[in-house]
Structure 1
Amino acid sequence: MKIRKSPIIFISASILLDFLLSLNLLAVPTSFDKAKEEAPQHIYHDRITIGTFYCGCEWSWMGRSGGRVDLEGCGYQIRKQPNRAERIEWEHVVPASNFGRARQCWQDGGRKNCKATDPVFNAMEADLHNLTPTIGEVNGDRSNFNFGILSTTLGQHGACPVKVDFKQRTVEPRAEVKGQIARTYFYMHDRYDLPMSRQQQQLLLAWDRQYPVTAWERERDRRVAQRMGHSNPFVTGEKSWRLGHRNGAEGVVSWLPTESSGRTLSAVNGVIRGNRNSKVYHLPEGCPSYDRVS
């Protein structure tokens, strides 16, 4: 019997790398709704016992993106919203309104307009590095308040250690997540070129030093990187934040149109301005720093 040999196909390393990268990019969530489906399936599928972000309460999965919280098991007391208190919601650690206000689309029509017109906003809203499971009521109480120290404020959610001062619009989270919060803020502000006040920087730098990266935070970053295509460099140690930090803005630059994406730079309305110091290009639409670049 004559055996027919199959032809051997050689694939160059560069072609293989491009192929693997293309597969990875297909996994990147392109909307907040998609990200909320990705997070339970690929990031937190086996982590319900680590507890919700602010309270440490266990939950059970329900539906495609939500969950039911074991309030009695963690001593949580409902403050005002029983329906939201019983369910898991996906919170933006850096609130959507915070990064939205940095975009022109928000000034022109708020969140709805940004979702319809701004790919950078959609990338920020769907960024898995910035999403975490929380009790819905706590998510609502946190709102878009800044983080801070509330030494004289009493807790309002039973055994849940989160503190909320509604008059000062300030939240103090439990100690276990303060470091993760700091490094998430550093990541979002650096990647998407967001401004941060000196006071907030000083607080988050203190939390970053006091609460170093945990084993779960590293594992979470690894899982998120598999979906997003990149890690949080402030978790891996590739970057560190200092007062007056200069943002890398990779998340903004990566959306610059190129010929390979089917759209050339000449198709953009107006003049593209380049910052000779930061080496970042600014488009006339959607870039809050455009008018500050000469």
Structure 2
Amino acid sequence: MKQLSYLSALLVALLLPGQSVADVPSSFNAAKRIAEEQIYYDQDTSFYCGCQFDFEAGPNLDACGYEIRKQPRRASRIEWEHVMPAYDFGRQRQCWIDDGRDNCRRTDEVFRRAEADLHNLVPAIGEVNGDRSNMRFGMVNTPVHEYGACNVAVSFEERTFQPPPHRRGDIARTYWYMRDTYGIEISRQQQQLFTAWANQDPVDEWEQERNRRIAAVQGNANPYVGDVAIQQAAEPEPVRSAPAIPQRSSSAEFSCSTRKNCGAMATCEEALFHLNQCGNGRLDGDGDGVPCESICR
């Protein structure tokens, strides 16, 4: 029955190749049902932690080495995570400023569409979804909280969530899609980080297949998935050319564990690593893509 629904949606999409307006689900609740039944019907791996799961039984935490931080009840279930949190696409709208998320759901059609957009929804272990909340993505310093073998880290002090390397490109491409579709502003610092992440984690087969399935159901695709030319166009245009990160083994000596300022940098290579790999935008005071200009000239 699920396969029939998917094929029917695909036929509609093929019959309407010129469709440009996404027919997103009518609500977040509807989107969750559609995502389970028509997008992830044959998928059983959680987005961040890579734990196998069943939508009814929840994730198999023992098998994937997940360690519960604090919330066993939420850790025992799968929840639908907004990659770009509702706070990010809602707080820039008047409905949110007036009276928050519930008000936007009642009064703002654009918000409802953004909240239910299938491109922005992924299955995640409930505890991780709850801990991430509306934190920004980035590289965290100490103190951090981790989840055993699940390769994510969260710093409540810094309000920063560090995703696993194999999901960082997916996150970047989702943010670009949401930015373009709903007019969401992304800071220059985050844009630089996402550009680096997209280059480090290119599109894989499941990301492409997921994009095709969503396009068949919802009527629009994420143009940053599988299109190298468009993906490169997403990079911010620097005022002047920034030196590339040297691709050599010495970068392995660097670490994001300590947040440094320019005075603590020994070389330009180290400064570039901390700007592009760790997301330390303070090193690029004028926003031209060149960190610590006293040593990166």
Asked if Structure 1 and Structure 2 have the same fold, meaning a TM-score greater than 0.5 normalized by the shorter chain, the answer is: yes
1:52 aligns to 2:52 (yes or no)? no
Q: Tell whether the 8 Å contact from 2:13 to 2:215 is kept in structure 1 after alignment.
A: no
CA distance in structure 2 between the aligned counterparts of 1:68 and 1:163, rounded to whole angstroms: 21
Structure 2, unpaired ranges of 5+:
1-10, 239-297
Consecutive unaligned residues of structure 1, counting only runs of 5 or more, are 1-15, 246-294
For residues 123-178 of structure 1, the C-alpha deviation after alignment (integer angstroms, 9 at most, x for no partner) is 00000000000000000110111111126565521111110010000011111111
Aligned to 2:158: 168
SS of 2:25's equivalent in the other structure is coil
Identify the residue that residue 192 of structure 2 maps to in structure 1. 202
Alignment of 1:35 with 2:31, yes or no, is yes
Number of the residue aligned with 2:83: 93
CA contact (8 A) 1:153 1:165 kept: yes
SS of corresponding position for 1:233? coil
Alignment of 1:153-164 (within 5 A): 154-164=144-154
Partners in 1 of 2:60 and 2:80 — Cα distance?
Answer: 17
- C-alpha displacement of 1:213: 0.5
Whole-angstrom distance in 2 between the partners of 1:206 and 1:153? 24
Q: Percent identity?
A: 52
Q: In the alignment, is residue 102 of structure 1 matched against residue 92 of structure 2?
A: yes
- CA 1:21/1:78 → structure 2, altered by over 3 Å: closer, same or farther? same
SS state at 2:112 partner = helix
Measured against aligned partners, the alpha-carbon deviations of 1:4-29 in whole angstroms (never above 9, x if no partner) come to xxxxxxxxxxxx9999449x989741
TM-aligned CA distance change 1:162 to 1:117, over 3 Å: same
Aligned-residue offset at 1:242: 2.0
Alpha-carbon distance change, 225 to 133 in structure 1, aligned in 2, over 3 angstroms: same
Aligned-pair CA distance for 1:190 = 1.1
Contact 1:221 1:235 in 2 (8 A): yes
Q: Which amino acid aligns with 2:122?
A: T
> Given the superposition, is the C-alpha separation of residues 211 and 19 from structure 1 closer, same or farther in structure 2, using an over 3 Å criterion?
closer
- The structure with more radius of gyration: 1
Q: Which amino acid letter does the alignment assign opposite residue 56 of structure 1?
A: G
Q: Which residue of 1 aligns with 2:230?
A: 239
**1:112 matched to which residue of 2?**
102
TM-score of the superposed pair, with normalisation by structure 1: 0.71
3-state SS, counterpart of residue 84 of structure 2 = coil
Task: Report the Cα distance in structure 2 between the residues aligned to 1:133 and 1:232, rounded to whole angstroms.
Answer: 18
Q: Are the aligned partners of 2:69 and 2:145 in contact in 1 as well (CA < 8 Å)?
A: no
Distance 1:211 1:151, change over 3 A: farther
CA deviation digits over 1:243-281, x for unaligned, max 9?
Answer: 169xxxxxxxxxxxxxxxxxxxxxxxxxxxxxxxxxxxx
* Residue matched to 1:134: 124
User: RMSD in angstroms over aligned alpha carbons?
Assistant: 2.4
Contact 1:153 1:163 in 2 (8 A): no
Q: Which residue in 2 is equivalent to 1:71?
A: 61
Which is further off, 37-46 or 148-157? 148-157
- How many pairs align? 223
Secondary structure, counterpart of 2:150 in structure 1: coil
How far apart, in 1, do the equivalents of 2:178 and 2:156 lie? 25
TM-score (norm 2): 0.70
Q: Distance in 2 between matches of 1:227 and 1:17?
A: 8
Letter in 1 for 2:129: N
- The whole-number CA distance in structure 2 between the counterparts of 1:69 and 1:201 is 32
Helix, strand or coil at the partner of 1:220: helix
CA–CA separation in structure 1 for the residues paired with 2:132 and 2:60: 20
| Contact 1:92 1:130 (C-alpha < 8 Å) held by counterparts | yes
